Structure 1
Amino acid sequence: MLHELVADPGELSPLELYDRYVAKLRSVIDEHGVEAVAEESGVDPGTLDGLASGDEPEITLEESTAVLAIPDDAPDGETIAALARDELLMGMTNAVLDVEAVESGLGGELEAREIQSKVEGRFPMTLREFALLYQHIEGVR
């Protein structure tokens, strides 16, 4: 699962956490190939090619989890994304954080309503945004 790829996400910077996630995506792409991953995941081959070649194209949480779902022993991408969002919500609950507190902790990088909509899955979330939110929440927790 995405939220289980790093043992102590709160100890890393958001960029370091994002880099770890991208490394995992690259390993899946390297193992299965751009074309096969694109076909199975529905992610644009150009995005996958960029990731594989070391670029960092913008990729959504859903696209990321679709890639992580490629190995045979992995759950489907929707389940991985739902569990990642649930982990954000549980982290906020355990740390007694509301969306306004998260907004404040992020220095206004994301607005409270935007955070809530993304965590609930009503608006798309990028992998960078997930790393930013998850690192902050786990750092407070």
Structure 2
Amino acid sequence: MSDGPARGHDFDTVYADLDKGRATTRFTWRDTDDGLGVVVEGHCPQCRGRTAREIRRVLPGTGAKGLPSWLRRDAPRPEPETDEEVLRAERYFCACGHPHPNRPSETYPGRVGCGASWTLGVLVRSDQGDAGDGSGA
């Protein structure tokens, strides 16, 4: 696995709505400045463009119809998911900012990229630093 793209952004990659599966490039995540979300950054596995996505944290149970099942007296409360578990379960879309060739006009306004989607493989928290871990990396 790699810490970045094999080469730079391939601006000539033709738009294709493809599920790339689990990305093999390294992605990082960090808290937003306000602490109310996280930012996931890395390189698209299709066009290798730099991409980032902000995901806001929400309070459990908000926006849902009815009460979560664990609120019933007889139901066990689930173990809380970690940010990393939630981020790994998400599907990501290329947001490299480049209007790749053959991009259909009916794509979402403001979503400019090559059309690829993926889940995360290597995910590292970037705002905790690597210094002092003894790995020399």
Structure-2-length-normalised TM-score: 0.24
Q: Would you tell me which structure has more helix in proportion to its own residues?
A: 1
Larger radius of gyration: 2
More strand by share: 2
TM-score, normalised on structure 1? 0.23
